[in-house]
Structure 1
Amino acid sequence: MDSDTEESPRKRQRKNPFSGDSFSRKNLMQEEDIRLETTRARFSNVLKRHGELTERLSRDSDKMIFERLQKEFEAACASQTEEISLDGEEWNDGLLATIRERVHMEADRKAMPGDINMVPGPHFQEKITYKVGSKVICCLEGARIGIQYETSFAGETCDLYHCVLESKSFLEKMTVLEHTIPFFLPIREAENDLLSSNAMKFIDYVGELLQAYVDRREQVRLIKELYGNQIRELYHSLPYHMVEFVLDDSDCKVTVSLRYADLVSVLPTRIRVLAWPSKKSGIDAETMNRKENGVLGSHQIPVRLSYAEDAVRTMSLPEAFAEIVLNLPRALQQMSQQTSK
């Protein structure tokens, strides 16, 4: 009797030799989940504090600069005698040299001694603004050239930005005196790389930089507005060149990760869309593990959604999101059929 009593636990252990391992794996997975949730909560808190800091940094001083420059640009446009619209090759280095010449002539005229009531010649009375696409270029007082950038999204005007260049003389390179461009866009790097060698290219590049930023930002804003009830855990960098979010579906959880090649891109180049099936989806992750690795897995593995990645690569984010949601049930069904074979 005693021997039977002593052997019974051993027999039970032989019948279920992996019970201890399974229990350990389960505990390990639970610990990993807890650590992951803790990290996610901390990261969310960091992002929240970062957003608050960003708002404080751009709240008062930038608004004051924007209002002052906007009034100055409005005054320059109101006093203009002519507005010239330029297309294609009409916008060139020669024209920019002409604008610099006008700026210096106006500054020299105001610095000349003599009767301040003396009427200047017709050449001095000309005040011309130049419109190049979405940019307005004008001469400002004090040997300055002002560029106003108008951004848009889906045919609607969004934000205005300003950049003021100082031109002390033709012998010295122009410099960025002040601007209202968001601090996280590389305006100073562009100034160092382009302004001294090719001022026209610098002006155009800043316009591309701003328009691409607004385009990416508005795409993210629109999916939050249209599909906010389906999206959770949405993260993005300040220039919106890195975007990640989770789509909650009844059958699975879809994680979307987007990276843009550079800050003038409006479509991502590095894309990963993964579906994490639930038990209700009919996609048996353990079966998939067994098929791929030859062993029985104990937890789910994600499935890559190629159709979704193709949609994000070629469409705007709101259009791609609609495409993902529309075709997700069929994609899950196809994966379920493949894994059951």
Structure 2
Amino acid sequence: MEGSDMEESSMKHNIMSSRKKPILSPDYARRHLEQLKGRGYAVTGEVNFMQEEDARLDTTRARLNNVLKRHEELKERLSRDSDKMIYERLQKEFEAALAAQTEEIYLDGEQWNDGLLATIRERVHMEADRKAMPGDMGMLPDHHFHEKSSYKVGNKVICCLEGARIGIQYETSFADEPRELYHCVLESRSFLEKMTVAEHTVPFFLPVREAENDLLSSNAMRFIDYVGELVQAYVDRREQVNLIKELYGNQIGELYHSLPYHVIEFVLNVYDW
């Protein structure tokens, strides 16, 4: 009896053990294997995606670098010879006009207005007409015409040039230190006709011609002010980038910028501590 009881107890124990360990069906095993394969593919796919993304970024950076190099070459080529000759000629003409002035008038706030600009326009045309008179009549002394005034408005100096032209010299600065001078010459065939930009020394990539089309015929004073804001903003951006290079050059790996410095991209060096 005891042997029979022990055998029966052993059989019950085996049955209970088999219930605790369920038998895996072939379908379950196959699904589990597919899940593992899918998980491995997901990890591999993520790595491949990151590698492809890095490759695309490297390609884009290389293309951008190539474009910027071409821009620099173009800027250098366009700033040679003719532009430098124009700058030197206008600089001498402005220096002569300012040296011949009898007074420099500083304007503040509302003193710079359309009425004053109209007076300057009228004056340059009257002077040109007087010099165009035949014989000695054009040389008659006139105290009014011998008064040569220039006008200082903010960063602008406005003066009368030969040939019924108005000259504007823009003085740029950064951190209270003077930077480049830029020039813009306006002319018109008569006092009643609209003015146009005869020539200028503003960098070619700044939208002077667009501003001329939008503003000069309708609001000449606003055009003159806008060009001053344009060149000063350009100098500010350029000098800020140069300052960043000077202060943080060892932390910057690569730095790119557009010609007007209104788009700037840089890559920081990453150090493993």
For the aligned pair, the TM-score class normalised by the smaller chain equals: 0.7 to 0.9
Secondary structure of residue in 2 paired with 1:197? coil
SS at match of 1:239: coil
Are 2:183 and 1:162 equivalent residues in the alignment?
Answer: yes
Distance 2:238 2:143 in 1: 46
What TM-score does the superposition give when structure 1 sets the normalisation length? 0.66
| Unaligned ranges ≥5, structure 2 | 1-29
Q: Give the superposition deviation at 1:119.
A: 4.5
Among 226, 231, 235, which residue is 2:256 paired with? 235
Distance in 2, matches of 1:93 and 1:229, equals 51
1:29 aligned residue (47, 50, 55): 50
For residue 163 of structure 2, what is the amino acid of its counterpart?
A: G
Q: Give aligned pairs, total.
A: 243
The residue aligned with 2:104 is 83
CA contact (8 A) 1:145 1:167 kept: no
Secondary structure in structure 1 of the residue aligned to 2:163: coil
Q: Give the TM-score taking structure 2 as reference length.
A: 0.82
Structure 1: 4+ residue segments shifted above 3 A: 12-17, 116-119
Could you tell me whether the CA contact under 8 Å between 1:81 and 1:128 is conserved in 2? yes
> d(CA) in 2 for partners of 1:167 and 1:117?
21
Map 1:1-341 to 2 at 5 A.
17=37, 18-115=39-136, 118-250=139-271
> Could you tell me whether the CA contact under 8 Å between 1:138 and 1:145 is conserved in 2?
yes
Larger radius of gyration: 2
Q: Which has the higher helix share?
A: 2
Letter in 2 for 1:181: V
Is the CA contact 2:71–2:259 (under 8 Å) kept in the aligned structure 1?
no
Query: Does the residue aligned with 2:265 lie in a helix, a strand or coil?
Result: strand
* CA drift at 1:167: 2.4
The CA distance in 1 between the partners of 2:139 and 2:230, in whole Å, is: 44
Unaligned 5+ runs, structure 1: 1-9, 252-279, 281-341
Aligned residues of 2:172 and 2:181 also touching (Cα < 8 A): yes
Whole-Å separation in 2 of the counterparts to 1:198 and 1:33: 50
Cα distance between partner residues in 2 of 1:146 and 1:38? 47
The CA deviation string for residues 299-334 of structure 1, in whole angstroms up to 9 with x for no partner, is xxxxxxxxxxxxxxxxxxxxxxxxxxxxxxxxxxxx
Distance in 1 (alpha carbons) for counterparts of 2:187 and 2:83: 19
Decide whether the 8 Å contact of 2:157 with 2:168 is kept in 1: yes
* RMSD of Structure 2 on Structure 1 (CA): 2.3
* 1:67–1:116 Cα change, 3 Å: farther
Q: Could you tell me which residue of structure 1 aligns to residue 18 of structure 2?
A: none
Distance 1:139 1:113 in 2: 22
Looking at structure 1, the residues matched to 190 and 138 of structure 2 have their Cα atoms a distance apart, in angstroms, of 27
1:232, CA displacement in angstroms?
A: 2.2
Residue type at the aligned position of 2:70: R
CA deviation map 1:85-107 (0-9, x unaligned): 11111111111111111101110
CA distance in 1, matches of 2:139, 2:74: 53
Report the CA distance between 1:191 and its aligned residue. 1.1
State percent identity of aligned pairs. Answer: 78
Using a 3 Å threshold, how does the CA distance of structure 1 residues 35 and 193 change in structure 2: closer, same or farther? closer
Give me the whole-angstrom Cα distance separating, in 1, the residues matched to 2:87 and 2:44: 62
Q: Give the corresponding residue for 1:331.
A: none
C-alpha distance in 1, partners of 2:138/2:210? 44
